[in-house]
Amino acid sequence: MRELINADMILANLLYNLCELTNTIKSKNDIIELARKLSARRVLGMKMKDRPKRIQFTRQALSTSDYKELETARHWAW
């Protein structure tokens, strides 16, 4: 269940950024290249120089009780 919630969060952020950054991200390769640059710089402890200014990541904060409630209401799960 946590994996499904995390995948949903990642997909929502990706779609939001794709819509907001249409001038910067024009193809699948642009997304892959940006992800590689961000990952490499993160590993090396460097800041991203040419990162789009408007890119954002919103994290959904769920408590343990929220997860338990979702687990009992499994009607939404596949």
**pLDDT 10s digits, 22-67:** 888 888 898 888 889 888 888 998 877 766 777 777 887 777 887 7
Both tokens of 46, joined, read 């460097």
Kindly tell me the burial class for residue 10, based on how many C-beta atoms sit within 10 Å of its own C-beta (0-12, 13-18, 19 or more): exposed
Q: Where are the domains of the chain?
A: 2-76
Distance CA 30, CA 36 (A): 10
pTM of the entire predicted model: 0.56
For residues 46 and 41, what is the distance between their CA atoms, to the nearest angstrom? Answer: 5
Query: pLDDT at position 75, please?
Result: 63
Rounded Cα distance, 12 and 16, in Å: 6
- Given pLDDT bands bounded at 50, 70 and 90, which one contains residue 77? low
